Amino acid sequence: MTHRTLDPAPHAAAEAEVARLHEHFIDARGYLAACTSGLPTRGSRAAVLADLDRRPDPAFYTGVVDRTRAAFARLVGTSEARIAIGSQASTQIALVATALPDGAEVLCADGDFSSVVMPFVYAGRGIRVRTVPLDALADEIGPTTALVAFSLVQSATGAVADAAAIVAAAARHGTWTLCDATQAAGWMPVRAELFDALVCHAYKWLCAPRGVSFVALSERLAARMRPVQAGWYAGADPWASCYGGASPLAEDARRFDVSPAWQAFVGAEPAIDLFAGVDAAGVHAYTTRLATTFRERRGLPASARASAIVTWDDPDGCDLARLSAAGIVASGRAGRARVAFHVFNDDEDVELAVRALTP
């Protein structure tokens, strides 16, 4: 791996923290796509390769899943008992939909990621989805709103929701809150206790293999949900729940577990453990500094709330093509070019992207 020297910045502690994190990644020069998929950590790569040489051992994998759940609980500041494991955010959001009464109103943000919205659109039972601009979510929550569901960071634009205002408005009206932290956890502080449901797929900013997701649930919401996906792993004793249908379910959020993808969790454990042990505020300061520098160099307007994702209009894809031609991995969404700055990026990545886009 090529050692990277970070430019001086006012957040010395944040820079030192991220300098340490750099050592956990194989050189990622020009990879500005953590918002699409994170890069594997050295620990994840080693764990997956070692697992290929190991005979399958269900007891070993059970321990891996338990430790990964515990690491995610530390990451989002909650207890393991509140967390159910899954493989996709959309299926876990669909479980939340089972708690809603018939005819309930669900409030979502315009243009939010479909996995947040579609489980409610197709939930049936007369459930109604209403969408409004992201910054209007708090104001639009009313006495008929059963649930407000939103991504903490918008996939298409990188905009950061005003979670505090949304939660406060929901509390005034007795509205449940569901936050998708898939585009947030890993680069900004996230606290599950703020929400009735916090969903996160770990393959983006948490740099885990695809196929590992989590939902942290409040007791009041979990009590209304139905474990419609219950299988053997949702049992109070999974190994005693392998046959038949009379096995008691776990009393905590594990009753909403699905059988884990073992190899994916093997790779996820080192990555999530790594991010659970870092100063999230320091990582936020570092990644948003890089993004802000890129914005300023490109003359882009500042974001309302600091974000590690930068997007701009690129309807014909020309800017994305320029980035690709320069060897930079970026992405395009909803007619916009999109770059993301994570802990494995640095000021040289900013410079490379700016040069690629400068005529």
Backbone angles phi, psi at 213, to 5 degrees: -135, 165
Q: 336 has which bridge partners?
A: 313, 333
Q: N- to C-terminal Cα distance for the chain?
A: 31
Note the Cα 277 to chain centre separation in Å: 17
Task: Using alpha carbons, select from 91, 79, 119, 58 the residue that is nearest to residue 213.
Answer: 91
Which residue in this structure is represented by tokens 């500041």? 77
Task: Using alpha carbons, select from 239, 217, 274 the residue that is nearest to residue 82.
Answer: 217
Which residue in this structure is represented by tokens 């989002």? 76
Residue predicted with more confidence, 108 or 244: 108
All structural domains of the chain = 12-30+279-357 (3.90.1150.10), 58-276 (3.40.640.10)
Burial class (CB in 10 A: 0-12, 13-18, 19+), 52: exposed
pLDDT at residue number 11: 62
Task: Using alpha carbons, select from 234, 213, 175 the residue that is nearest to residue 94.
Answer: 213
- 3-class DSSP state for residue 5? coil
Beta carbons within 8 Å of 80's beta carbon, 6+ residues apart: 69, 70, 73
> What average pLDDT is seen over the chain?
94
Backbone angles phi, psi at 300, to 5 degrees: -90, 150
Note the Cα 22 to chain centre separation in Å: 20
* DSSP state string for 141-167: --TTEEEEEEESB-TTT-PBP-HHHHH
Q: The pTM is what?
A: 0.93
What value does the mean pLDDT take over residues 102-120? 97
> In this predicted model, what pLDDT tens digit does every residue of 281-297 receive, in sequence order?
999 999 999 999 999 99
Which residue in this structure is represented by tokens 């490109």? 298
Q: Say whether pLDDT at 7 is over 80.
A: no
Question: Starting at the edge strand that comes first in sequence, how are the strands of the sheet with 331-333 ordered?
Answer: 309-313, 336-340, 331-333
Judge contact between 306 and 293, C-beta under 8 A.
no
Measured CA to CA, the distance from residue 106 to residue 295 in angstroms comes to: 34
Q: Say whether pLDDT at 4 is over 90.
A: no
Q: Say whether pLDDT at 2 is over 50.
A: no
Measured CA to CA, the distance from residue 181 to residue 188 in angstroms comes to: 10
> In this predicted model, what pLDDT tens digit does every residue of 293-346 receive, in sequence order?
999 999 999 988 999 999 999 999 999 999 999 999 999 988 999 999 999 999
Q: Residue 172: which region, alpha, beta or left (left: phi > 0; alpha: psi -120 to 50)? A: alpha
> In this predicted model, what pLDDT tens digit does every residue of 29-72 receive, in sequence order?
999 999 999 999 999 999 999 999 999 999 999 999 999 999 99
